[in-house]
């Protein structure tokens, strides 16, 4: 069974565990909303990121509302990657392409804040690959290096074609 199917068919852990639901309040929210397909995203934002970045309840709610569609996953070269928002007993995979992270749009090193409007959802793999590329020059160097690593000339041509479609 592929990872997307495993995520879609996940069986929720039904007991309270801080590693899985963070707080009794968030566990109770899951109990009341277990049929909400986005409940694990909401729990992780409120259980991990709200605390980590010291967001207010209103900021966390706004981030959830603004990013609900992006929280479900993303497509790369025609392949869908569902995000696994589960933690603890609800975690399905350790595959970094399916593991969501919050990424600073403007990095902290360049003055970016830990505010919801400066955050976006990226897979752990993409966020790690980006690293601390804080300038356009660093990004260019990273992109060129990654393109050079493609195994086939055909894949490089496919990438160029996709970029032309996106930006023409």
Per residue in 46-60, pLDDT tens?
Answer: 999 999 999 999 999
- The arithmetic mean of pLDDT across residues 61-77, rounded, is 96
Angle 79-123-95 (CA atoms, 0-180°, nearest 5)?
75
Q: Give me the percent of the chain exceeding a pLDDT of 90.
A: 68
- H or E element: which one contains 33? helix 24-33
Q: What pLDDT does 32 receive? A: 97
Q: What pLDDT does 145 receive? A: 82
Q: What pLDDT does 121 receive? A: 98
- The arithmetic mean of pLDDT across residues 53-73, rounded, is 98
Range 105-111, long-range pairs (CB < 8 A, 24+ positions): 107/132, 107/134, 109/134, 110/134
Is 18's pLDDT higher than 80? Answer: yes
Residue 158 · residue 164 · CB < 8 Å:
no
* Single pTM value for the model: 0.87
- At residue 161 the predicted structure's pLDDT band, cuts being 50, 70 and 90, is confident
């Amino acid at each position: 069974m592929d990872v997307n199917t495993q995520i879609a068919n996940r069986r929720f852990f039904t007991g309270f565990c801080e590693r899985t639901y963070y707080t009794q309040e968030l566990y109770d929210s899951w109990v009341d909303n277990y049929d909400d397909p986005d409940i694990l995203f909401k729990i992780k934002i409120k259980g991990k990121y709200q605390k980590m970045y010291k967001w207010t309840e209103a900021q966390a709610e706004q981030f959830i509302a603004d990013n609900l569609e992006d929280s479900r996953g993303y497509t790369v070269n025609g392949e869908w990657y569902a995000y696994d928002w589960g933690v603890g007993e609800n975690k399905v995979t350790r595959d970094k392409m399916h593991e969501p992270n919050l990424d600073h749009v403007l990095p902290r090193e360049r003055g970016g804040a830990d505010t919801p409007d400066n955050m976006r959802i990226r897979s752990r793999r993409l966020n790690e690959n980006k690293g601390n590329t804080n300038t356009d020059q660093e990004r260019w160097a990273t992109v060129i290096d990654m393109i050079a690593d493609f195994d086939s000339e055909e894949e490089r041509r496919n990438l160029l074609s996709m970029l032309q479609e996106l930006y023409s």
